[in-house]
Amino acid sequence: MSGNGNGHGHGHGHERGDDFDWAAMADLLELEGETHSPYVRQALDELKDLRPGRVLDIGSGPGVAACRLAETFPEAEVTAVDGSPELLARAEVRAARLGVRLRTRAVEFPDGLAGLEPADLIWSAQVVHHVGDQQAALGGLARLLNPGGVLAIVEGGLPARFLPRDLGFGRPGLQERLDAATAVRFDRMRTELPGSVAVVEDWPEMLRSAGLSEVRSRTFLVEHRAPLAEGPRRSVRAVLERQRHVLGEPEGLSAGDIGVLDRLLDPGDPVGVDRRADLFLLTAKTVHFGVRRG
């Protein structure tokens, strides 16, 4: 089980069940992690009074958030935990480039949690929703905390927005239809996961049910204004490429919408995402915090 360390957007699309090739998505995960990194800084500001000895990033992916954790808590032993050795190798390269101390550990989530040492802070960004029994997964994370330790789960928030409602061609409202098609695919992914358990996704209440206290939630805005810089622009392109690959007419997109996506992704088209001056990126990420007492 992998994540991007900042929380991937559902715009990636979800394969049947949880059949993701995370290593093949490494560029997309790292790009999106870097583009969304402002919310990680804001979320860690909420924890600035912590003095953790051991920190785990569960589902770290290529290590964007893990390196931020290592930078924020330089005295701590910070470990990026992921099921993909290829993504962990990227995390190691990133840590070396940034000059931060980061350990890596190849562990599948949630089955491998029992083999990890307890931590004072656990960060996990949009990984739990890839597990059939989300409540049981939260319980496993909570048990991995030392007394007084904090669990920070990134789930929910708002879908990313980057396109005008009317692009000047095609039917207006493409982004909303992409969201709807992605929601259908996400629901099917959840249903087809092994051991899938339906639950009211009230994340604060789920953290309390996992035995945590002092539960609170904060939502953080990520805004990159038009015209987009190169990094966020490449991130938007990567998300649209992924959507073009996994969303088709069975998911609710029409042939007309697919044609619009093809124009947006054509590097030679002046209305494509590589050239549009009106391209922006706006999203919000919700982080749920809970403390283990006793």
Residue-wise DSSP of 107-168: --TTTTGGGSPPEEEEEEES-GGGSS-HHHHHHHHHHTEEEEEEEEEE---EEEE-S-S--S
Within-domain flag for 62: yes
Within-domain flag for 250: yes
Strands 103-106 and 281-291: unpaired
- By residue range, what is the domain housing residue 228? 10-291
Written as tens digits, the pLDDT of the chain (294 aa) is 554 444 343 333 333 334 456 666 788 899 999 999 999 999 999 999 999 999 999 999 999 999 999 999 999 999 999 999 999 999 999 999 999 999 999 999 999 999 999 999 999 999 999 999 999 999 999 999 999 999 999 999 999 999 999 999 999 999 999 999 999 999 999 999 999 999 999 999 999 999 999 999 999 999 999 999 999 999 999 999 999 988 865 556 899 999 999 999 999 999 999 999 999 999 999 999 999 997
Within-domain flag for 5: no
Within-domain flag for 4: no
Within-domain flag for 222: yes
Question: Of 212, 81, 217, 75, nearest to 156 (Cα)?
Answer: 217
Q: State the CB neighbour count (10 A cutoff) for residue 266.
A: 14
CATH number at residue 186: 3.40.50.150
Within-domain flag for 3: no
Give the Cα separation of 147 and 142 in Å (integer).
10
The CA radius of gyration of the chain, in Å to the nearest whole number, is 19
pTM over 0.75: yes
Give the Cα separation of 51 and 53 in Å (integer).
7
Longest Cα–Cα distance in the chain: 61
Give the Cα separation of 253 and 274 in Å (integer).
22
Within-domain flag for 106: yes
CA distances from 251 to 14, 181, 183 (A): 11, 5, 9
55, amino acid identity = V
Question: Of 99, 59, 96, 97, nearest to 79 (Cα)?
Answer: 59
So what's the pLDDT on residue 22? 64
Total domains in the chain come to: 1
Within-domain flag for 26: yes
- DSSP letter at 229 equals P
Name 287's bridge partners: 154, 218
Give the Cα separation of 123 and 46 in Å (integer).
13
